[in-house]
Structure 1
Amino acid sequence: MQRIFLFLLTNIAIMVILSVTLRVLGVESLLAQNGSDLNLNALVIFSGIFGFGGAFISLAISKWMAKRMTGAIVIDSPSNNVEKWLLDTVKKQSKIVGIKMPEVAIFPSPQMNAFATGASKNKALVAVSQGLLDSMSQGEIEAVVGHEISHVANGDMVTLTLIQGVVNTFVIFFSRVIGHVVDRVILKNQRGHGIGYFVTTIFAQIVLSILASVIVMYFSRKREYVADTGGADLAGHQNMINALKRLGQKEPEALPEQLAAFGIGEKPKTGWRELWSSHPPLEDRIKALEKRAKTS
């Protein structure tokens, strides 16, 4: 709750400063001179409500969506020794990091992957693929589970949602300001919102969203290193390193976009496309763990 409050407070402060800055730079007066009825204060509030609203709705239904998008089946009562061991492992690790036992699920994929999601650290879901259970040793699976448990314990789902909310707010705000400038100042439209406003706003929102996602993905990559160290602490450095090497032997299952940032791995991207990658290269993650193992 404290994290949410601080992010909201920060976002409000940024938007207030932004609104004042636009006035000082004369943007509002320029729009007024050209017949614009743009109310910056109202736009700030509108952008914040819709920017954070969409992000929080996605977070609130994340478990429900994850189960349906991946076909994950929650283990209510273990039907075999593997499921019992998996539940025991999650329970043990959850107790160590101080969170409530998450729901545990298996999703039917022959590829190796796992993810965690949920509205809070005490109402989370940890899911692993059948392919991961079939392909990895118990030590490696423990490390992967530890990685996902660390995501939950660190509150990464909430953190990335808040970052996405801030980014959404700026995208909504600037796309509409740009639309107004084009419609009223360049196209000289004086009656309501013309076609120039709508076309420009949609185009600007698409472009700004693509650019802004670079910021979200940057933070996502940073959280992966932290989750790796969490998995290493819970299951051992070598198990975590071996699990990542195992993932590198075969391209991981592509998770739905909403879950990709919380999977253990993703399809590698090269060149400039790495800016939009939610995970660092496996080689870099392995090197970071090997360096940490030597110094610990």
Structure 2
Amino acid sequence: MNMTKTAILLAGLTALFLAVGYLVGGTGGMFLALAFACATNLYAYWNADQLVLRLYRAREVSERESPGFHGIVKQLARRAGIPMPRVYIIDNPQPNAFATGRNPQNAAVAATTGLLKILNSNEVAGVMAHELAHVRNRDTLTMTITATVAGALGMLANWVMFAMAFGGGNRNNPLGPFGALLVALLAPVAAMLVQMAISRTREYEADRIGAEICGDPMWLASALQKLDQGARGIDNAAAEENPATAHMFIVNPLHARSMDSLFSTHPSTANRVAKLKEMAGIVSPWG
């Protein structure tokens, strides 16, 4: 099912590439955009995880360097029945975390220094269990490819606008000057559609499975409340510059710009905590 969702998502993103190419260069531009989209999709499948980790300057840590954090992930991976992922730390004061990788055999989890500073060991375990749930469900493939391809789409649109601003491409533009305007509008709309394509139900499902992995839903509930409050008060410059990656984080890292509300991909933290509390009380909303 997840592979089907990934295929549909990539098809939609490819269609957006084609639309941008056609609006600027007609049929020739469409085929050029198709080639670019295919190359981006292929690159994203094999390299998107490392691209995202580099984007956030994540540093891989060994068990010797971070025994506590590494030990938590190792124990949880064993409980989840998946291979031990690579463990990264991001030097960022905003408390947050994400998982990436095309499959459980090539997965990585990353937490910010801000998260490790404000959460206790049980809460860290709750967060990492949530991220390992994404790994086990293979959500990371879709999330990571989406971030890379959406970023490439935005770069393509920006390049097209730059070229047209200096008189390039107008001859083949089927819509004349209106094509440039449409391209300018397509970039943020496309990014928004990509964000919304990542179903919010995946977060609820990762919360549920994560609670089962760590053994106590309240560990994750407590962590979410702290993370939400912390993320609202601390900027994440890399995320603000690359909003297409926002859906990868456990809580929304965006807030510094007024447009960020358009890119909200996370369900309400209050709703997530309420469901976890119901789960802790054995009255599970999932049945």
Q: TM-score, normalised by structure 2?
A: 0.69
Cα distance in 2 between the residues matched to 1:112 and 1:131: 4
Distance 1:127 1:271, change over 3 A: closer
> In structure 1, the residue corresponding to 2:104 is in which secondary structure?
coil
Distance 1:88 1:268, change over 3 A: same
Following superposition, the deviation at residue 139 of structure 1 comes to 0.7
Equivalent residue pairs, number:
252
Instruction: Report Cα offsets for 1:65-122 as digits up to 9, x if no partner.
Output: 334333322113413xxx2232222222223333322110112223311121223332
Amino acid in structure 2 at the alignment position of 1:218: M
RMSD of Structure 2 on Structure 1 (CA): 4.1
Aligned to 2:276: 289
Which one of the candidate residues 110, 113, 137 is aligned to 1:127? Answer: 110
Question: Which runs of 5 or more structure 2 residues have no equivalent in the other structure?
Answer: 16-24, 161-169
> In structure 2, the residue corresponding to 1:105 is in which secondary structure?
strand
Counting aligned pairs with the same residue, the percent is 25
Kindly indicate whether residue 195 of structure 2 is the aligned counterpart of residue 217 of structure 1: yes
Which one of the candidate residues 49, 52, 74 is aligned to 2:60? Answer: 74
> In structure 1, the residue corresponding to 2:250 is in which secondary structure?
coil
Cα distance in 2 between the residues matched to 1:63 and 1:204: 31
Following superposition, the deviation at residue 291 of structure 1 comes to 3.3
Q: Which moved more, 1:1-10 or 1:216-225?
A: 1-10
Following superposition, the deviation at residue 6 of structure 1 comes to 7.5
> In structure 1, the residue corresponding to 2:72 is in which secondary structure?
helix
How does 1:169-208 map onto structure 2 within 5 Å? Answer: 193=172, 197=176, 199-208=177-186
Question: Which runs of 5 or more structure 1 residues have no equivalent in the other structure?
Answer: 16-36, 177-188
Aligned to 1:153: 136
Distance 1:66 1:193, change over 3 A: closer
Aligned to 2:7: 7
Q: Is the 1:102–1:126 Cα contact (8 Å) retained in structure 2?
A: yes
How does 1:48-63 map onto structure 2 within 5 Å? Answer: 48-63=34-49
Amino acid in structure 2 at the alignment position of 1:228: D
Which one of the candidate residues 201, 206, 220 is aligned to 1:227? Answer: 206
Aligned to 1:111: 94
Aligned to 2:229: 249
Q: Is the 1:120–1:158 Cα contact (8 Å) retained in structure 2?
A: yes
Q: Is the 1:160–1:219 Cα contact (8 Å) retained in structure 2?
A: no
Aligned to 2:67: 84
Following superposition, the deviation at residue 44 of structure 1 comes to 7.3
Instruction: Report Cα offsets for 1:210-248 as digits up to 9, x if no partner.
Output: 223333222433322222222212222110110011123
Instruction: Report Cα offsets for 1:258-288 as digits up to 9, x if no partner.
Output: 5422112224669995441122232222123
Q: TM-score, normalised by structure 1?
A: 0.67
Distance 1:275 1:293, change over 3 A: farther
Aligned to 2:167: none
Which one of the candidate residues 121, 124, 138 is aligned to 1:141? Answer: 124
Cα distance in 1 between the residues matched to 2:2 and 2:139: 14
Amino acid in structure 2 at the alignment position of 1:152: V
Distance 1:272 1:287, change over 3 A: farther
Aligned to 1:19: none
Aligned to 1:185: none
Amino acid in structure 2 at the alignment position of 1:97: A
